[in-house]
A and B are shown apart, each in its own frame.
Chain A
Amino acid sequence: MTEPLVKPKKKNPVLRTRLATLPPVPRSRTALGLTRAAAEGVFEMQVCADCGTVQYPPREVCGSCLSEHLAWKPVDNRGELIATTTLRHSNDLYFRERLPWRVGTVKMAAGPSVVAHVHEDCAEGGSVRLTLKLDRSGQAVLHALPEKDTPNMNDAPQLRESTCDPKFRRVLVTDGKSATGMAVAKAMLEAGANAVFLGDASTWKTVPAFDKLVASDPRLQVVELDVTDTDSVDRLAASIGGKVEILVNTADYLRDGGILNRKDVNLARDAMEVNVLGLMRLAQAFGPGMCFRAADGSNNAVAWVNILSIHAHAALPARGAWSASKAAALSLSHTLRAELRGAGVRVMNVFPGPVDEEWEQLTPPPKIAPSGLAKAIVKGLQDGVEDLYVGDIAEELRTRLRENHKAVERELGQ
């Protein structure tokens, strides 16, 4: 049984902070297929179109019939743990700091035998579930998990290295006063966060639901934060930057309108200020501190969450400028991901469909409840994924974009 994680003690301020190290990075281009699957939270391997053999490790031609027709497909993730060993020595900087480390061989029901990181609750000779997860270097690794969930299994240090669980971590919600922001804060508290900082850009405005939320839990703390104001972002980072282990950027500026129906670029500029430059200001102010604390104990800084939109991938012409700002934010997030990867801080992009909030009033259902979006975000962090599509509309558009992006473009423009 996994020992439950204990609440981290206050940091000893005179000890040197352990800096981040990374597990080995290099993968072949083909093997990055596993990384794509892990990033999206699915279990896929190459399957030979000619003979049906499941391939592992990833390769260019079928290990059984030499066919080149290998396609990434969901495969059965069950298997038998046939052997394990516990490493007590490593010359790799990352692993030597995290010993002992349990690894083992799993004979998959789908065919291949694989070497995987093995959860402490898995018994040798027993059945296991394999899962693809990203390690701290952002590359896919296989974890063997118990066949059924065991108590506190997510607390196992080895698994926690691949996830971004909010448990005992401190979270900054950049716009804590929005419907989504409040829902994210609640979900983080339910997931065991140690503290949630709620950004407030309009302290002059009374929002009863916000006041009620703030009074409901002593772990909530309101902080002044306006992502359009560099000084405001810098001041907050200077005061709590060293405590933010998960940052959820909920700040959003959504207004209707295409680009020809207005004679000015004011709304577009306001959207860019919040959705694009706001993200950049946050990154510049909070990124370095999070990187510095990326290996700092069991409540290390782990994740940066951007709430984008499915329309970051496909513009909704009825909201032209807003869509453009989301696309720009998506592009920025890829740079941020590259820049944070060196420390092992994960960037999770969330692509919801329409959310049931005031600026989506005229959008017909289905709409995602803010609480549903927040729960999906928490689960995404617990699973350690990089790309999270939330809601039927997001899922549908994502599938259809792969099939025919021109059809999507035409239909969204109607």
Chain B
Amino acid sequence: MSTPILAQFMAELLSGRVKLVDLTQTLTPEFPIIQLPPEFGQAWPFRIEEISRYDERGPAWYWNNFSMSEHTGTHFDAPIHWISGKDQPDNAVDSIPVENFIASACVIDVSAECAENPDFLLTVEYVKAWEEKHGRIPERAWVLMRTDWSKRAMPKEYLNMAEDGAHSPGPDAEVVPWLIQERNVHGFGTESVGTDAGQAHHLNPPYPCHYFMHGNNRYGLQCLTNLDLLPPQGAVIFAAPLKIRNGSGSPLRVLALTPTV
């Protein structure tokens, strides 16, 4: 029997030839959440209350209660999150097959474009040009859009609200179905507060990333950080949401395994 694959993997990890990168934002009360028109229901931000801290409320232990929505902080979108994905099989965080929590990733760097234009939309043309340079997107891979949005000042520049709503980058309405049909991607991930652009309600269909990805039983990741530490191809993402019964998504720790050479 040859060297067991996991032993080999651990050896690579311990030697530093494979590195772990944390793609997760820290959960804090001030971390911005998506803002809907105030007459809609709103997602709870992260809130935390101390239960005890080695004090009269609990002398030897420190712990907290916290509350938040399924879509607060760095989080995973399950297909059931969107109306288009409501009848997909295994579409909630508790029923998604666990194999789907590990997938390779392609990182498309559009940070220069986004610095110029906060409403930058990723197009089929742009992805094709990226493939020319970095190779074809493999089957069942996450497509992560590096915008450097996570480096923006919180919350004002991150949400980037104007009188006509938020201005942040995302995919356009053509590239999402193309990624699914032509590249059979696993899902789409962004650094901003949602997988869709800030002005995506004006696209056709509105919120195309949510509409097509979830309508095809694919997943979403948002509020990611450290995408600048990943190679264009070759990283592996571990992203397992909490097992909430019929949950539409969940905050989670997103880890990337990336080769150092």
Interface size class of A (residues with CB under 8 A): 10 to 19
Chain A CB within 8 A of B47 CB: yes
Please state if B29 and A229 are interface contacts (CB–CB under 8 Å). Answer: yes
Shortest CB distance B156–A (Å)? 5
Cα of A229 to Cα of B159 in the assembled complex, Å? 19
A200-227 interface bits toward B, Cβ cutoff 8 Å, 1 = contact, 0 = none: 0001111000000000000000000010
CB distance from B110 to the nearest CB of A (A): 23
Query: How many angstroms between the C-alpha atoms of A270 and B67 in the bound complex?
Result: 12
Smallest CB separation, B163 vs chain A (Å): 8
Q: How far is the CA of A206 from the CA of B156 in the complex (A)?
A: 9
Q: Is the CB of A231 within 8 A of B29?
A: yes
- From A267, which residue of chain B is reached at the shortest CB distance? B41
Evaluate contact between B30 and A206: CB separation under 8 angstroms.
no
Q: Which of B43-91 contact A (CB under 8 A)?
A: 45, 47-49
Alpha-carbon separation in the docked complex, A228 to B48 (Å): 10
Output the least CB separation between A254 and chain B (Å): 11
Instruction: Give residues of chain A (78-133) contacting chain B, Cβ–Cβ below 8 Å.
Output: none
A194 CB within 8 Å of chain B: no
The CB with the most chain A CB atoms within 10 A, among B29, B42, B158, is that of B29
Measured CA separation A205–B161 after assembly (Å): 7
- Interface size class on chain B is 10 to 19
Contact of B159 among A204, A232, A266, A270 (CB under 8 A): A204
Asked if B135 is an interface residue, CB under 8 A from chain A, the answer is: no
Q: Which of B30, B35, B155, B161 contacts A232 (CB 8 A)?
A: B30
A230 contacts the other chain (Cβ, under 8 Å)? yes
Q: Whole-angstrom distance between the alpha carbons of A206 and B35 in the complex?
A: 13
Taking the closest CB of chain A, its distance from the CB of B150, in whole angstroms, is 16
B156 touches A203 (CB 8 A): yes
Please indicate the chain A residues that have their CB under 8 angstroms from the CB of B161 in the complex: 204-206
Which residues of chain A are within 8 angstroms of B158 by Cβ–Cβ distance?
A: 204
Specify which of A203, A204, A229 lies most central, judged by the most chain B CB atoms within 10 Å of its CB: A204
- Of the candidates B35, B48, B156, B162, the one whose C-beta lies within 8 Å of that of A230 is B48
Query: In the complex, what's the smallest C-beta–C-beta distance from B49 to chain A, in angstroms?
Result: 6
CB nearest to A269 among chain B residues: B44
B68 to chain A, nearest CB (A): 12
Report whether B32 and A204 are in contact in the complex, using a CB–CB cutoff of 8 Å.
Answer: yes
Chain B residues near A230 (CB-CB < 8 A)? 29, 47-49
Find A229's partner among B35, B42, B47 (CB 8 Å cutoff): B47
Closest CB in chain A relative to B42 CB, distance in Å: 7
Given contacts A229-B29, A229-B30, A231-B48, contact A266 B41 (CB under 8 A): yes
Contact partners of B156 in chain A: CB under 8 A: 203-204
B247 CB to nearest chain A CB (Å): 16
Q: How far is the CA of A205 from the CA of B153 in the complex (A)?
A: 14
Residue of B nearest to A231 (CB): B29
Give min CB distance, B10 to chain A, whole Å: 39
| Across-interface contacts of B29 in A (CB, < 8 A) | 226, 229-232
Supplied contacts A204-B156, A229-B29, A270-B42, 11 more A-B pairs, CB within 8 Å: A203-B155, A204-B32, A204-B35, A204-B161, A229-B30, A229-B47, A230-B49, A231-B29, A232-B30, A266-B41, A267-B41
Interface residues of B (CB under 8 A from A): 29-30, 32, 35, 41-42, 45, 47-49, 155-156, 158-159, 161-163
- CB-based closest 3 A-B pairs: A229-B29, A204-B155, A204-B159
Instruction: Write 8 A-B pairs (CB below 8 A) sorted by A numbering.
Output: A204-B155, A204-B159, A205-B161, A226-B29, A229-B30, A230-B29, A230-B47, A232-B29
